[in-house]
Amino acid sequence: MSRHNRFAGSLGALAVLAAAHAQQPIVQTVYSSGTTQSRYDMVILADGYQAAEQTTFQNNVQAFLTALFQKQPYATFASYYNVHTVFRASVDSGASHPDANPPIVRNTAYGAAYNTGGTARCLYINNTSQALADAALAPANEGRVLVFVNDSRYGGCAGQFAVSYNGSSMTEVQIHEIGHSLGSLADEYDYPNQTYTGGEPGQANISASPTGQKWSHWWGTDGISAFQGAGYYLYGLYRPKNNCLMRSLGVPMCAVCQEQSTRTLNSITNVITSTLPTANSLSLNVGTVQPFAFTHFVPAGNSPLIQWQLDGNVIPGATSPSWLLDTTNLTLGTHTVEASVLDRTPIVRQDPSQTMRERRTWTVVVTDPNAANLRFSALSSNLVWVQPGQSPVLSYTLANDGPAAAGPFDVEFFLSTTTSYDPNRSMYLGKQAFASFAVGSQAQQYSPQVPWRLEGRVYYVFAVADRQNSVRETNENDNSRYGAFVGQAGPCVTKLEYADPLVYPLSAAALPVSTGGAVQPTVVARCAAPGTLYLIAWGCSGTVPGTPLAPGITVPLNQDLCTQLGLAAVNGAWFQNFLGTLDAQGLGRATFQVPANSGLLASTGHFAALLVDPVQGFSGVTNPVVIDLQ
Amino acid sequence: MLWAGVALAGLGWIFVPHATPASDALPPANPPTAAAAAQRPEPNGHYALVVEGDRDHLTITHAHWKPDPWAGVPKGLTSDYRLAVLDAAGDELASVPLDLSKFDLRPEAKGSAVRSEGCTVLDARVAMLANVPCHGDLAAVHVFYRGGEELGRVLATTVRDLAGGGK
């Protein structure tokens, strides 16, 4: 091969390489404001531009961006955008004109053509798959893609793509189209002689309401009212302003359209960029002072409002991008720190999705090397079906995760009819005391007697550790565990028990005579005849031998002055409902009320109840229960 | 006693931890994977996916891996359609609502030609970009849903191959 031929051969190879290279899309970032994670990444494609026309495309893009960022709301938020272009050279220049005579057919990268859907000026692309694959080459995207088509015939259309020709009205057309594509705005122009009869449109800028209720917050501003003729209908649909870019080229966007476009933009951008700490969860020893800070790019002209919150409570006066958390007085365990910045631009007046507020949240676990952490890892019962008065064995495993030992504290047990317990309402099943609890787990058992007034229904049993908060714990919110069992109908017994919160065992109660108080002795006689009378008597002289009432019926109280006092004042202020009739459930609920400084002496006595059948007379007696006046 | 057995099953004779305020339901059949989630590595960048199909079937036709972190779901975006990234155990690593508002998803429009109204285009064929976090080898499958109805699934290995492998 001659020297000339080798050179020619090399040129041929280069030409092939160049052709191949020309077919590869060229990705450029032509406008950069910040990270792709924080900004709106606009992607612009070229169609109908031959390889030699790449400069034309870049000039079109620059002209468009210059115009875009001079218009509101884009001018205010210009720093919210990154713009990337992807240039794939087309074989032919221009777009197809299938409605021309004869039709013009162009071989372009994405098949741009006029007359899409039968609308002559609707210039759109057909090879959306290739267009999306190319758009995905950009460093980032937000889903919607702009396309410039190298053709001088007026046209444009919007869907997933916002497409515009590159003639003299290019910038206006494209800004209108991105109003559809990026802002989800409707066309506000109308066609003659059409009347809309449908429901309220979803778009922000057209309404079936003759007053334009959906933009009522703009009434009277910027000429906003309600003008008939919008969304391709001459009648029955209304637009916010007489004229707007979504109706005619060459005019600004109205306030309603600007607001919607701004909300959409801000729904995608993340205006908080960097944070300190960078991790969103951290563990701090109590007493630590931790700085928190963030940076944001809300324009100063939009009066950004910064707030800091700790556990949902706004920190007064904390309105700068940095704040110090002093953990000295915080409870141990998990806390939440939230920073937020609200963009108060006058462009947005209503923001139901809070797109204009950006938040960052940190989870802070405050620990103490001298604290413990109690939690239950297991709880089970040997009985699934439980009768009144039975004593199921509750087996549980209590763990102390440390690092310090815990104690003293109590593990308490409650019965509830819901999946939460209330110490002032739930049935109390007593407690186990722990003087000290080393780091580690311990298996324990407890067998409380359930109340005689237990009903046939589902009950939830709660084990609660350190309800009094006497142990300093890393996490105070994991100190209980519950499970369920089924209460069964009880045997035909006649019992007296206390039905007071936090009183256990149910057969003994105490009252301080100095401050007074009240307890609720309750008769349980499920099988007694309706209307059966009950009488609760008081005795201070023991229960044996008791007082015989009838053959086989002995009240377990020795009569004395207490008995006489109780009977004399029955159903008075001190002995409320001590004489009454059983309710439909066979229960008789009484209250023993001792006022403060009543003059009663400290003593230990008993209550016991007897039943009087209206026909048979004395029909039963209960067990005695202790009443300890202290 | 059949009813009793049913009642016991319903009660779940397993005692469960109780947080304050009480919010614990009886445990699900599959234990919660919060702990497992906490141990997962952070997503490694994100995928820009080309999603194509129609109202009843969706698939992924192109994928590009991006080193930048996923920017998250737009504030306020809700959709019946979503793309879930599942791990091998079937747990969701991510669930991303899909904004199909620019497409004609009416059942009667399926298979029809592109329509235009004014200068807006309504196409029953779905062709869109979707961004999802990249969970690397943890991801097993990408599944499209409309409500609870599955509309298509693409193996994560296929997505990785579309993206040129490696991620």
**A452-462 tens-digit pLDDT:** 999 999 999 99
Once rounded to an integer, what is the mean pLDDT over residues A131-158?
A: 96
Residue A329 has pLDDT above 60, yes or no: yes
Q: Which helix (H) or strand (E) holds A432?
A: strand A427-434
Residues facing residue A426 across a β-bridge: none
- A128 contact B CB<8A: yes
The reply to whether the predicted model has a pTM over 0.80 is no
Residue A443 has pLDDT above 90, yes or no: yes
Contact call for residues A360 and A315 (beta carbons, < 8 A): no
Sequence-ordered list of residues with C-beta below 8 angstroms from that of A395, at least 6 positions apart, any chain: A378, A379, A380, A381, A382, A443, A444, A445
Residue A16 has pLDDT above 90, yes or no: no
What per-residue confidence (pLDDT) applies to A182? Answer: 83
What per-residue confidence (pLDDT) applies to B49? Answer: 97
Q: Summarize pLDDT for A590-602 with one digit per residue, the tens.
A: 999 999 988 888 8
Select from B129, B131, B132, B162 the residue whose CB has the most chain A CBs within 10 Å, as the one to mutate to test that interface. B129
A 573-612 residues with CB < 8 A to B: none
Ranges A58-67, A173-182, B83-92: which has the least confidence:
A173-182
Query: Hey, what's the torsion of the CAs at A236, A241, A244, A247, to 10 degrees?
Result: 10
Whether A354 and B76 lie within 8 Å, measured CB to CB: yes
Which one is predicted more confidently, A12 or A458?
A: A458
Once rounded to an integer, what is the mean pLDDT over residues A306-315?
A: 98
Phi, psi of A532 (to 5 degrees): -60, 130
Once rounded to an integer, what is the mean pLDDT over residues A186-205?
A: 93
Give the distance from residue B79's alpha carbon to the nearest chain A alpha carbon, in angstroms.
14
Alpha-carbon separation of residue B162 from A137, B63, B70, B82, B158 (angstroms): 13, 5, 18, 20, 6
Nearest to A440 by CA among A474, A482, A406: A406
Phi, psi of A87 (to 5 degrees): -105, 115
Residue A88 has pLDDT above 80, yes or no: yes
What per-residue confidence (pLDDT) applies to B60? Answer: 97
Q: What is the rounded distance in angstroms from the CA atom of residue A33 to the CA atom of residue A52? A: 29
Closest A-chain CA to B67 = A139
Residue A586 has pLDDT above 80, yes or no: yes
Closest B-chain CA to A359 = B75
The model's confidence at residue A193, banded by pLDDT at 50, 70 and 90, is confident
Chain A residues in contact with B129 (beta carbon < 8 A): 132, 135-136, 141, 143, 145
Ranges A59-63, A377-381, A451-455, B7-11: which has the least confidence:
B7-11
Q: Residue A92 is encoded by which pair of tokens? A: 């032919």
Q: What is the rounded distance in angstroms from the CA atom of residue A503 to the CA atom of residue A595? A: 19
Give the distance from residue B88's alpha carbon to the nearest chain A alpha carbon, in angstroms.
27
Residue B34 has pLDDT above 50, yes or no: no
Contact call for residues A392 and A383 (beta carbons, < 8 A): yes
Candidates A36, A133, A267; nearest CB to B77 = A267
Whether B116 and A157 lie within 8 Å, measured CB to CB: yes
Q: For residue A193, with 0-12 CB atoms within 10 Å meaning exposed, 13-18 middle and 19 or more buried, which class applies?
A: exposed
Q: What is the rounded distance in angstroms from the CA atom of residue B126 to the CA atom of residue A510? A: 76
Residue A12 has pLDDT above 80, yes or no: no
Candidates A160, A379, A418; nearest CB to B15 = A379
The model's confidence at residue A489, banded by pLDDT at 50, 70 and 90, is confident
Candidates B70, B120, B130; nearest CB to A158 = B120
Q: Residue A117 is encoded by which pair of tokens? A: 């859907």
CB atoms within 10 A of CB A116: 26
Complex ipTM value? 0.79
Whether A355 and B24 lie within 8 Å, measured CB to CB: no
Once rounded to an integer, what is the mean pLDDT over residues A7-32?
A: 62
Residue A21 has pLDDT above 70, yes or no: no
Q: Summarize pLDDT for A532-583 with one digit per residue, the tens.
A: 999 999 999 999 999 998 888 899 999 999 999 999 999 999 999 999 999 9
Nearest to A9 by CA among A513, B54, A267, A1: A1
Beta-sheet pairing, A81-87 with A40-47:
parallel
What per-residue confidence (pLDDT) applies to B40? Answer: 58
Contact call for residues A431 and A504 (beta carbons, < 8 A): yes
Once rounded to an integer, what is the mean pLDDT over residues A365-377?
A: 90
Once rounded to an integer, what is the mean pLDDT over residues A192-202?
A: 92
Once rounded to an integer, what is the mean pLDDT over residues A512-524?
A: 95
Average pLDDT of every residue of chain A: 92
Residue A44 has pLDDT above 50, yes or no: yes
Crossing angle of helices A170-181 and A54-68, in 10° steps, is 70
Which residue bears the tokens 């996916």?
B49
Please tell me whether residue A389 adopts helix, strand or coil conformation.
Answer: coil
Residue B21 has pLDDT above 50, yes or no: no
- A261 contact B CB<8A: no
Q: For residue B99, with 0-12 CB atoms within 10 Å meaning exposed, 13-18 middle and 19 or more buried, which class applies?
A: buried
Query: Hey, what's the torsion of the CAs at A231, A234, A235, A236, to 10 degrees?
Result: 0
Residue A100 has pLDDT above 80, yes or no: yes
Residue B10 has pLDDT above 60, yes or no: no
Candidates A37, A160, A353; nearest CB to B102 = A160
Give the distance from residue A518's alpha carbon to the nearest chain B alpha carbon, in angstroms.
30
Q: What is the rounded distance in angstroms from the CA atom of residue A404 to the CA atom of residue A421? A: 28
Closest A-chain CA to B112 = A117
- A527 contact B CB<8A: no
Give the distance from residue B129's alpha carbon to the nearest chain A alpha carbon, in angstroms.
5
Contact call for residues A593 and A574 (beta carbons, < 8 A): yes
Residues facing residue A203 across a β-bridge: none
Q: What is the rounded distance in angstroms from the CA atom of residue A137 to the CA atom of residue A143? A: 12
Phi, psi of A62 (to 5 degrees): -65, -40
What per-residue confidence (pLDDT) applies to A531? Answer: 83
| Whole-number percent of chain A with pLDDT over 90 | 85
The model's confidence at residue B165, banded by pLDDT at 50, 70 and 90, is low
Q: What is the rounded distance in angstroms from the CA atom of residue A106 to the CA atom of residue A90? A: 9
Please tell me whether residue A259 adopts helix, strand or coil conformation.
Answer: helix
Chain B residues in contact with A481 (beta carbon < 8 A): 15-18
Q: Summarize pLDDT for A242-284 with one digit per residue, the tens.
A: 999 999 999 999 999 999 999 999 999 999 999 999 999 999 9
Whether A124 and B101 lie within 8 Å, measured CB to CB: no
Residue A392 has pLDDT above 50, yes or no: yes
Give the distance from residue B15's alpha carbon to the nearest chain A alpha carbon, in angstroms.
4
Phi, psi of A485 (to 5 degrees): -145, 175
Angle at B73 between CA B69 and CA B76, to 5 degrees: 155
Q: What is the rounded distance in angstroms from the CA atom of residue A304 to the CA atom of residue A47? A: 41
Q: Residue A368 is encoded by which pair of tokens? A: 């103490």
Q: What is the rounded distance in angstroms from the CA atom of residue A145 to the CA atom of residue A137? A: 12
Give the distance from residue B90's alpha carbon to the nearest chain A alpha carbon, in angstroms.
26
